[in-house]
Amino acid sequence: MITFEDVVKIYPGGGTAVDHLTLELPTGRTTVLVGPSGCGKTTSLGMINRMVRPTSGRVLIDGRDVAEQDEALLRRGIGYVIQHAGLFPHRTVLDNVATVPMLLGQSRRQARTAALGLLERVGLSAEFAGRYPAQLSGGQQQRVGVARALAADPPVMLMDEPFSAVDPVVREGLHREFLRLQQDLHKTIALVTHDIDEAIKLGDVVAIFRQGGRLAQVGTPRQLLEEPADEFVAEFVGRDRGLRSLSFDDATEPPVRPLGETGEHELVLDDAGRPLGWKSPTGLEATGGTFTRTDSLRLVTDLAISSPAGIAVRVGPDGAADGTVRHHDLVDYLAARRLRRASEPTP
């Protein structure tokens, strides 16, 4: 667990970067620090591994004040990932990843062998091992950066805008990898980003900072979306909060009708039962996509809205259609859901 105890950071020029921050980052969870530029999120992150010294207040990791520990040793036990990876250009990918274990005294061979395993873990094949950072794309470099941070198996990881410097498609992939890794590893992660969508997607806990270094709200992504503390948070989280909060509910919630009940619309299937499209005077119109039981309510809503028939098609694991959700039923369901939520006691 990482704890900020009334931490203040004022720079010599006079600017207050962090204004009396008290925050707890739970063990084994991802806490995202998010906010506009100048809100102190990166400064706060830097105080965890002593790259920045607090003007007052303490930062504790598992109860121990970081100021009381040897800087270099502290940092060897914390994984650090930054934008553009900051890989050593003069070392191969493998040696980059093996850096901290070697600093900690492991033999080169041991460190390199372990590094190979880590590369695989972040989705890079062994052929990347002997390459230099200059030969890698941005996304690949970022993966190496993550592998490097994981190499010494630190309990704590700090990530400073780790996915900002890559294009959106690559970023999607990296997000998925990140969530998969964290599911396996359960590290205590502090991640800084300026992108609220990324924060909501990746964070177990999200801390929103406002300019001037003050904490605006801390909570789960759902809490932030559904119960913003003030105007600033609501604005920052964005206009389509309602739609986005649907991402947190499952596709199994709304009522599903069996295949036969599609009213005046006819769903055409192939021999294996897979949907081909909706019958129309001119031929077939594409369904625009299907959903499965593991998808989110948001996807179902989107499909129902964009479908030419106003009906979202559900498929099973084999791709065969096994049910539909009609637009009207969805609207009724959402209305009932809202009423239900309103009458629930606030946690």
Partner 1 sequence: MITYLSNNGDTILAALRQHIVLALLPVVIGFLVALPIGYLGVRFPWFYHPLVNICGVLYSIPSLALFVFLPVILGTKILSPLNIVVALTIYTVALLARTVADGLRSVDTLVTRSATAMGYRRLRRLTDVELPVALPVILAGLRVATVANISLVSVGALIGVGGLGQLFTRGFQLFYLEPILVGIILSVLLAAVADLTIVLVQRAITPWTRFEHSDRGAA
74/251 with CB nearer partner 1: 74
86/155 with CB nearer partner 1: 86
Q: Report strand pairing: 321-326 vs 311-315.
A: antiparallel
Closest separation between CB of residue 191 and partner 1, Å? 15
What's the rounded Cα separation, in Å, for the pair 191 and 35?
A: 12
74/216 with CB nearer partner 1: 74
51/185 with CB nearer partner 1: 51
96/287 with CB nearer partner 1: 96
Closest separation between CB of residue 75 and partner 1, Å? 4
Handedness of CA 193, 197, 202, 208 (dihedral sign): positive
75/314 with CB nearer partner 1: 75
39/87 with CB nearer partner 1: 87
Cβ atoms of 82 and 42 closer than 8 Å? no
CA 119 to chain centre: 21
Closest separation between CB of residue 213 and partner 1, Å? 21
Closest separation between CB of residue 166 and partner 1, Å? 8
Binding positions for partner 1, rule: CB under 8 A: 49, 51, 72-78, 80, 82-91, 99-100, 103, 131-140, 148, 158, 166, 169-170, 173
What's the rounded Cα separation, in Å, for the pair 271 and 285?
A: 18
Sheet holding 267-269, edge to edge: 267-269, 275-280, 283-285
Closest separation between CB of residue 59 and partner 1, Å? 15
User: In which residue are the tokens 């001037």 written?
Assistant: 212
Cβ atoms of 311 and 326 closer than 8 Å? yes
What's the rounded Cα separation, in Å, for the pair 225 and 203?
A: 13
Closest separation between CB of residue 31 and partner 1, Å? 18
Alpha helices in the chain (DSSP H): 41-48, 71-76, 93-97, 99-103, 108-121, 138-150, 168-185, 196-202, 221-226, 231-237, 241-245, 297-306, 327-343
89/283 with CB nearer partner 1: 89
What's the rounded Cα separation, in Å, for the pair 122 and 177?
A: 7
Closest separation between CB of residue 64 and partner 1, Å? 17
Closest separation between CB of residue 232 and partner 1, Å? 31
Q: What is the DSSP letter of 210?
A: E
What's the rounded Cα separation, in Å, for the pair 338 and 341?
A: 5
